[in-house]
Amino acid sequence: LSLVHVKLDANNVRWKLNSIELEREYEKNVLNFPIHRWLDSNQSFNVLLNQGPIQLASIYTIIVRTGTISSSTQLDMHLALIGDGASTLPFYLNSNSNLIHSTNNHLFQSGSKNFFYISSFYSIDIGQLFHIQIWCNSIDKLPYYCESIEVINNFNDKKYFFLVNHWFGHNLEEYLSVPLINRNEESNMFTISIKTIDISKSDDEHLVLIYIEFANGKSYEEALHSSETHQIPFQKNNIDFFSVTFDNVNDNELSLVHVKLDANNVRWKLNSIELEYEKNILNFPIHRWLDSNQSFNVLLNQGPIQLASIYTIIVRTGTISSSTQLDMHLALIGDGASTLPFHLNSNSNLIHSTNNHLFQSGSKNLFYISSFHSIDIGQLFHIQIWCNSIDKLPYYCESIEVINNFNDKKYFFLVNHWFGPNLEEYLSVPLINRNEESNMFTISIKTIDISKSDDEHLVLIYIEFANGKSHEEALHSSETHQIPFRKDNIDFFPVTIDNVNDNEITNVKVCFVNKSKENKTETEWNCAWIEIRDIFYQRNYVYKPSKIFISHANNKPYDYLNLEQIIDLPCSKNGKCFIFIRDKYIIDNL
């Protein structure tokens, strides 16, 4: 059997038909066609039964898309399909039976796509669809927004799209008839949801200008002012919903979105903007204050949000730092927009690091900020740092570099700051142009022993560079100890050197000086190592003296000692040089 066609031959009669069963004698074939609908004698035909023997396979897949602004999740939804000369009885979509079932565990959630499968025991193929009829009752008395419904005929793979764009619920219309949409011929329908955190002037009327550009070059500007969810839009903690129609967009991807608050002297804290069209949902988390007086506010140019990182943040910890248990938050300040503070050591899908142990002495920690957590805010000018030392030890941050992974731009911020107990926990750091600024160096000096710790001493260091420049610095005010160069101490000195630019250090020599004019006795100073870090260009130089220093009097000519460069710090904390020897024979013959 390939086709069965049934027609009521009468005049102005309606006939409610339950089922038709055909059985061929002497064979085992029984074909049962459940119909369950009214048939009209005035129609050109009534029921076309062309799917062959009935099976439990689904004849229709129905996809119900719920808007992100929707509230209700407890619904009774019935849907009827209207074809050319025939229609179905209303399907009770959330009946969850063998005849109608869904793969969604929780139906009609905000922003969800719900699939319902209609068994061929429950319906026949009624041919070309032209309308759907919807009955929707909100059980929890909350409003429900249905964005669209798509019907797929699983026997011939034909798809029918119905743009619903309608609110159902308490004191709202519960029935709607929706015509078929030809998406190639119709204007494209967009829904725009805007979440406001706060606004400085809530009594005034405001509007938001949104500029949208598509891959085919078409662009549109829309003034958003009549919210479908609130009488006055853009009020504190509200989500406003707007339906917008654009012509000649077809199946082109969104390439750029630009948002501006059109008001006078108003500051607007915007949480997020979401654009939804057809099957695409583009969510732009913004989380910042926008100013109506600025030429533009937010340029959302990254397209659909992915988990790809938008920013890489490199935090460099000084070698003299002690604390390793920190809570560090960082905010990026751009031209007209800024981010909320990133909790760098949160270790989530939105912010993660490849380093197992964060903020170790002398380390470089990389953090990747997901584009779910931030947008591209353009040119950076400042960063803001909040740093809390959990283990109550001081932490020294040398520098922070921010890389925009969408355009590969790099921004360098010289921090050069101690955080910790009884120290400032907040710092605002401006952008540094390394080509125009003086170079920043840090010098760390490890003392093994000194013969006279009561006298005041200083270290003269003479540094030569590859471009022929040289610099001499007197080191006497340590940032780590009140009196420098004491036994077993590491002293830390920041140094600024002009006209060096991107040139390496070629030679270093040192002179040890006794500052006391009265004391003429020589002092012996045993120095373990001297480390010089070029913070701007991230170079590290380590030197070891070839002998014990003998102090020079402050009023005599200085005799410098050239230092020997080594690869790394001896017995450093990173475990590269720790050797444990327990065998006396090895020690005696070492």
- What top-level class would CATH report for the domain 439-566? mainly beta
CA atoms within 13 A on the CB side of 302: 26
Rounded to whole angstroms, the Cα distance separating 578 from 99 reads 72
Same topology, domains 1-181 and 188-300? Answer is yes
Sheet holding 188-199, edge to edge: 239-246, 188-199, 267-277, 280-291
What does the domain layout of the chain look like in residue ranges?
A: 1-181, 188-300, 309-430, 439-566
Single-letter amino acid code for the residue at 337: A
**Tally of residues, the chain:** 590
Say how far residue 66 (Cα) sits from the centre of its chain.
24
The residue with tokens 């602004």 is: 69
Helix, strand, coil content of the chain in percent (nearest 5): 0, 50, 45
Q: How far is CA 557 from CA 139, 146, 552, in A?
A: 94, 88, 8
In the DSSP assignment, the letter for residue 333 is E
Q: What is the mean pLDDT of each run of 10 residues along the chain (590 residues)?
A: 72 78 68 66 58 54 84 87 81 78 82 83 78 90 88 86 85 86 69 82 79 78 82 85 77 72 78 70 67 58 48 88 87 80 78 83 86 72 91 90 86 89 87 79 91 85 92 88 89 87 91 77 89 86 91 74 83 43 44
Q: Tell me, letter by letter, the H, E, C secondary structure of 236-293.
A: CCCEEEEEEEECCCCCCCEEEEEEEEECCCCEEEEEEEEEEECCEEEEEEEEEEEECC
Structure tokens at 393: 């030890």
Rounded to whole angstroms, the Cα distance separating 537 from 502 reads 7
CATH of 1-181, one of 2.60.40.10, 3.30.1330.10, 1.20.120.1630, 2.60.60.20: 2.60.60.20
The residue with tokens 């008839």 is: 177
Give residue 227's pLDDT. 82
Is the dihedral angle over the CA atoms 290, 294, 296, 302 positive or is it negative?
Answer: negative
Rounded to whole angstroms, the Cα distance separating 270 from 516 reads 63
Which residues share a beta bridge with 488?
none
Q: How far is CA 247 from CA 147, 188, 384, in A?
A: 19, 6, 44
The residue with tokens 């797929």 is: 152
In the DSSP assignment, the letter for residue 481 is -
Rounded to whole angstroms, the Cα distance separating 64 from 187 reads 21
Other CB atoms within 10 Å distance of the CB of residue 94: 19
The CA-to-CA distance between both ends of the chain, in Å, stands at 98
Rounded to whole angstroms, the Cα distance separating 330 from 347 reads 14
Give residue 433's pLDDT. 81
Question: Into which CATH architecture does domain 188-300 fall?
Answer: Sandwich (2.60)
Structure tokens at 276: 């939804």
Our separate counts of H helices and E strands in the chain read 1, 41
Q: Domain 309-430 is classified in which CATH homologous superfamily?
A: PLAT/LH2 domain (2.60.60.20)
| Beta carbons of 229 and 241 less than 8 angstroms apart | yes
Rounded to whole angstroms, the Cα distance separating 94 from 116 reads 8
| Beta carbons of 68 and 193 less than 8 angstroms apart | yes
Give the DSSP letter string of 36-93.
EEEEETTSS--EEE-S-S--SSEEEEEEEEEPTT-----EEEEEEEEESS-BPPPEEG
pTM of the model: 0.42
* 3-class SS of residue 231: coil
Q: What ranges make up the beta strands (E) of 420-518? A: 426-430, 439-450, 457-465, 470-475, 490-497, 505-514
Give residue 304's pLDDT. 37
- H/E stretch holding 403 reads strand 395-404
Give residue 580's pLDDT. 41
Rounded to whole angstroms, the Cα distance separating 280 from 497 reads 54
Give residue 461's pLDDT. 94
